[in-house]
Amino acid sequence: MALRKEHVTFCHICPNHCALKVIVEDGKVVEVKAAGGSGFPVHMCSVQKGADHLIGTVNSPDRLKKPLRRKGAKGEGKWEEISWDEALDTIAAKLLEVKEKYGPERVVLILGEPKGMEFAFAQRFATAFGTPNVITPGNYCGVQNTEALRYTFGSRYIMARMDSNPKVIVIWGANPAHTGGTFSNIGRYDFNRALVSGDTKLVVVDPKNIEIWPEKGMRASDADYWIRPRPNSDGILAMGMIKVIIEEKLYDREYIENWTVGFDELCKEVATFTLDEVEELTWVPKETIQQVARLYATNKPGIIGTGNALEGSVQAFQTLRAICILRGITGNVNTPLGGHVELVPPKYHPPGSFMLGDLKDRLREYPRSPERTICGPDFGLASRFGYVPTQALVHALLEEKPYLPKVGLAFVTNPLLTYPDSKATEAAFRKFELLVVSELFHTATTRIADIVLPAAFLHEHDSIAYWPAWFANIRANCKVVDPPGEAWSDMKIINELAKRVGLERYFWENEEQALDYMLKPLGLTWKQFRDEVKYLHGKSKYDPDKVAGYGTPSGKVEIYCEALKKANVDPLPRFKDLKEPLMGRFELSEEYPLIMTNYKSEIFMLSGYRNVEAMRKKSLAPTTYMNPETAKELGLQDGDWIYIETYKGKMKQRLSVQPGMHPKVVNVEFGWGDHVYEDANMNLITDYAPPWDYPTGSVTLRGYPCKVYKAPEKE
Ligand SMILES: Nc1nc2c(c(=O)[nH]1)N[C@H]1C(S)=C(S)[C@@H](COP(=O)(O)OP(=O)(O)OC[C@H]3O[C@@H](n4cnc5c(=O)[nH]c(N)nc54)[C@H](O)[C@@H]3O)O[C@H]1N2
Ligand SMILES: Nc1nc2c(c(=O)[nH]1)N[C@H]1C(S)=C(S)[C@@H](COP(=O)(O)OP(=O)(O)OC[C@H]3O[C@@H](n4cnc5c(=O)[nH]c(N)nc54)[C@H](O)[C@@H]3O)O[C@H]1N2
Ligand code: SF4
Ligand SMILES: [Mo]
């Protein structure tokens, strides 16, 4: 009889992190389903991608199984298998040589979105080794939102409240049904209940007619308002709404007086522009802006969920600040009637303390200071949050300024597809003397590596999932099957590498000890957490009788923020600056009369897994959406292969016409380029050059002027 085991663990594909029941027979995953009844959150995307992804990845014949060393020229695709000892000794010797000859900052850690603890381990390694150069996608993912929340309300952990049906839900630049990109703390059941309750008005701000409730066929076009702004004009739209609320006095005067600072400055700012200008820049009729502003300001609770579309632009931080101010002046945060509430996270070692907390001696010797990084001192807030913007690495490698990085250690990331300007990124990464990539599969990035390390997937080892930390919750991800071949978890790779470069005192004998350390402030061991607790979430500060207060220096909602001023960042979002993502090279022209933006795949996670058959079967070819009239004018038909061209070059996707879209908008699918459809990579036509968002280092990913024309099926 087959040996059968059932595990409850968590999906890590999207920020919903649903509880999954994984059934294993004779050491093989045979079934994955929603862990309904487990008491843990289960949203379950309608396409069930979590299950396909888990089964498909653990059973994939393409998994990397042994450490590989490059044979022949870079990128030639010739490899020899080597032992872990040889791989780690080779890497350790190079790290020590570079540290001795040039200094530890020449070693760069290159990280992607955390799955389990690998990100925290890599950050800790960087601190212990002495390099401040940790590159993460924080420059265009999440940080703009969490830091805008922190500077405005004094906490990163501000979440939508769903104990009663909100009167208004605004989905702004996020596609929760496909990506979990916002409202991850709200169960799908609660969300859908609100939609059918009759109490709730829905506003969607998105160029795409996104699915809202796929099983019912409900889309943005069924919402009370479907606003289709010009890509990257969201900050201006938010300022327009603020202007209406102020000029029509739709705010609560007593609350503004008692609980906010800087309202007068804000009033002065909104007097500097007109609603006609807002209409012209955002392509949203001013009547719609007025109606939605009135709706939001006068119906509480109101919740606004923002997504990644607002985070990748040269004014990303101030765009998110403007939306925070919109929530703030309507009394929608930490108030009895408000739609958002602050959470207090459980008392585990937060990632920041894990990365730096007990490494004070190392920090004295090798400070994680902006001056030592490859982007230098003049980088707003980014380096304070422990990352260097991705494009700064590409600049440093290509221009050898302020110095040339020598070694790149990449974990859970595929920069050659995900950084803006794939060609420049490839040219830059080829300049590493040693590029090490830890991966599940071969990718565009492993192909130009010197050493490739086979990584264990999250479900093939024990780990704590704390990502995204801003949801204030942690989960036990238990091992359900063995990794393939000789694959190791990233935690183990880093732990063992640390021992070989003389840093064992900062690491552990084995990874379980690190998990125990992470949980110590909770009085739990890893085994207790895994077997008895599994999931901890933040406690809500919601008080139905009074304003719960704010953790800002003033104790109030900081519309005008002194702390930002001290950091050399504008203390208030300015209309004139919010126009920046629409000016200069982002202006439409005769040659490039349309505007490109992008969305993420429903089926795949970022650039990964295009080789996993179960998922490929569910996915369409790389799809670009356009208005049918525009397509007709260009002589294009639904289903045609098209070129999308910007001043950086062209790439190829398949056209799908979508009625109701703005006629000038071209919405392409992000993430393609590995295994199939290699010329469908949108980062072939984006740019890594400045201007960048000064506070967070964000770079413009969307909003490029483009042209579209028919491509042959095959070339
Ligand atoms: N133009 C444009 N560019 C974008 C975006 C966009 O919308 N438009 N989105 C941006 C955003 S929001 C983000 S977050 C970044 C993401 O960019 P990346 O961080 O580069 O993300 P992925 O493409 O998911 O690459 C992760 C890789 O890790 C591998 N992997 C999975 N699990 C493990 C593991 O446990 N260990 C190891 N070692 N490897 C593992 C996967 O196979 C995959 O190849 O891209 C950004 N780039
Ligand atoms: N299935 C799946 N889930 C994922 C991911 C994935 O790749 N696939 N990636 C994960 C990651 S790292 C992240 S960051 C999140 C992101 O998740 P989301 O926040 O949902 O991100 P996107 O799909 O990039 O963009 C959301 C929506 O913004 C719209 N949009 C594009 N440009 C603009 C604009 O200028 N203004 C406005 N208002 N809207 C615009 C797009 O049409 C899209 O519908 O999802 C996570 N979950
Ligand atoms: S992909 Fe997201 S919604 Fe789907 S099962 Fe996984 S965590 Fe849940
Ligand atoms: Mo992201």
What is the predicted pLDDT for the residue at 712?
Answer: 86
Query: Which numbered atom of ligand 2 lies nearest the CA of 45?
Result: 1
What is the predicted pLDDT for the residue at 151?
Answer: 97
Q: Is the CB of 615 under 6 A from ligand 3?
A: no
Non-local (6+) Cβ contacts of 74 within 8 A are 430, 448, 450
The structure's pTM equals 0.97
Q: Is the CB of 262 under 6 A from ligand 3?
A: no
What is the predicted pLDDT for the residue at 383?
Answer: 66
- 290, 223 contact by CB (below 8 A): no
CB atoms within 10 A of CB 92: 17
Provide the residue count of the chain: 715
- 355, 333 contact by CB (below 8 A): no
Which candidate, 572, 467, 470, places its Cα nearest to that of 160? 470
State how far the Cα of 465 lies from the Cα of 473, in Å rounded to an integer: 9
**Strand, helix or coil at 42?**
coil
Query: Which tens digits make up the pLDDT trace of 667-713?
Result: 999 999 999 999 999 999 999 999 899 999 999 999 999 999 999 87
State how far the Cα of 673 lies from the Cα of 675, in Å rounded to an integer: 7
The rounded Å distance from CA 604 to ligand 1 centre is: 11
Give me the CATH topology for the region 154-343+543-578: Dimethylsulfoxide Reductase; domain 2 (3.40.228)
What is the predicted pLDDT for the residue at 45?
Answer: 83
Task: Provide the β-strand partners of residue 537.
Answer: 473
* DSSP letter (8 states) at residue 702: S
Regions of the chain where pLDDT drops below 50 = none
Read out DSSP for 555-586? SSEESS-HHHHHTTS-SS--HHHHTGGGSGGG
Strand order in the sheet with 302-306: 225-227, 201-205, 168-172, 302-306
Q: What is the CA radius of gyration of the chain?
A: 25
Q: What tokens were used for 187?
A: 């169960």
What is the predicted pLDDT for the residue at 470?
Answer: 63
Q: What tokens were used for 174?
A: 């996020």
Give me the CATH topology for the region 584-710: Barwin-like endoglucanases (2.40.40)
Ligand 1 pocket (Cβ < 6 Å) reads 112-113, 115, 118, 137, 140-141, 308, 411-415, 418, 420, 438-441, 443, 455, 457-458, 490, 598, 600, 605-608, 670, 682-683, 686, 701
Non-local (6+) Cβ contacts of 375 within 8 A are 382, 383, 388, 389, 392, 395, 396, 697
Task: Provide the β-strand partners of residue 81.
Answer: 68
The rounded Å distance from CA 412 to ligand 1 centre is: 7
Query: Which numbered atom of ligand 2 lies nearest the CA of 313?
Result: 35
The alpha carbon of 343 is separated from its chain's Cα centroid by a whole number of angstroms, namely 20
Task: Provide the β-strand partners of residue 79.
Answer: 70
The rounded Å distance from CA 605 to ligand 1 centre is: 7
What is the predicted pLDDT for the residue at 468?
Answer: 61
Q: Tell me whether strands 473-477 and 463-465 are parallel, antiparallel or unpaired.
A: antiparallel
- The listed CATH number (3.40.50.10320, 3.90.1530.10, 2.20.25.90, 3.10.50.40) that belongs to domain 4-58: 2.20.25.90
State how far the Cα of 338 lies from the Cα of 152, in Å rounded to an integer: 15
Q: What tokens were used for 222?
A: 């069924």
Q: Whose CA is nearest to atom 17 of ligand 2?
A: 181
Q: What tokens were used for 203?
A: 């506003």
Closest-approaching ligand to the CA atom of 604: 2
Q: Classify residue 590 by burial, with Cβ atoms within 10 Å: 0-12, 13-18, 19+.
A: exposed
Q: What tokens were used for 513?
A: 């000890």
Non-local (6+) Cβ contacts of 358 within 8 A are none
Q: Where are the domains of the chain?
A: 4-58, 73-137+349-465+473-537, 154-343+543-578, 584-710
Query: Which numbered atom of ligand 3 lies nearest the CA of 16?
Result: 7
CB atoms within 10 A of CB 422: 24
Task: Select from 8, 13, 47 the residue to mutate for testing ligand 3; criterion: most ligand atoms less than 8 Å from CB.
Answer: 13
Which candidate, 612, 671, 429, places its Cα nearest to that of 57? 612
State how far the Cα of 566 lies from the Cα of 241, in Å rounded to an integer: 28
The rounded Å distance from CA 195 to ligand 3 centre is: 21
State how far the Cα of 39 lies from the Cα of 532, in Å rounded to an integer: 13
Query: Which numbered atom of ligand 1 lies nearest the CA of 683?
Result: 1
Query: Which tens digits make up the pLDDT trace of 59-98?
Result: 999 999 999 999 999 999 999 999 999 999 999 999 999 9
State how far the Cα of 614 lies from the Cα of 53, in Å rounded to an integer: 8
Query: Which tens digits make up the pLDDT trace of 641-660?
Result: 999 999 999 999 999 999 99
Average pLDDT, the chain: 94
Q: Is the CB of 662 under 6 A from ligand 3?
A: no
CB atoms within 10 A of CB 387: 24
What is the predicted pLDDT for the residue at 378?
Answer: 63
Q: Is the CB of 12 under 6 A from ligand 3?
A: no
Query: Which numbered atom of ligand 3 lies nearest the CA of 14?
Result: 2
Q: What tokens were used for 55?
A: 């089964």
Q: Tell me whether strands 260-261 and 4-10 are parallel, antiparallel or unpaired.
A: unpaired
Query: Which numbered atom of ligand 1 lies nearest the CA of 599?
Result: 7
Which candidate, 389, 438, 428, 379, places its Cα nearest to that of 405? 428
Yes or no: domain 73-137+349-465+473-537 corresponds to CATH 1.20.120.160: no
* 72 backbone φψ class: left, alpha, beta (φ>0; ψ -120 to 50): left
Which candidate, 306, 303, 373, places its Cα nearest to that of 143? 306
What is the predicted pLDDT for the residue at 350?
Answer: 75
**Strand, helix or coil at 98?**
helix
Q: Is the CB of 11 under 6 A from ligand 3?
A: yes
Read out DSSP for 301-344? SEEEEE-GGGTSSTTHHHHHHHHHHHHHHTT-BSSTT-SEEEEE
Closest-approaching ligand to the CA atom of 421: 1
Q: Which residues of 615-625 are buried (b: 16+ CB within 10 A; e: fewer)?
A: bbeebeebbbb
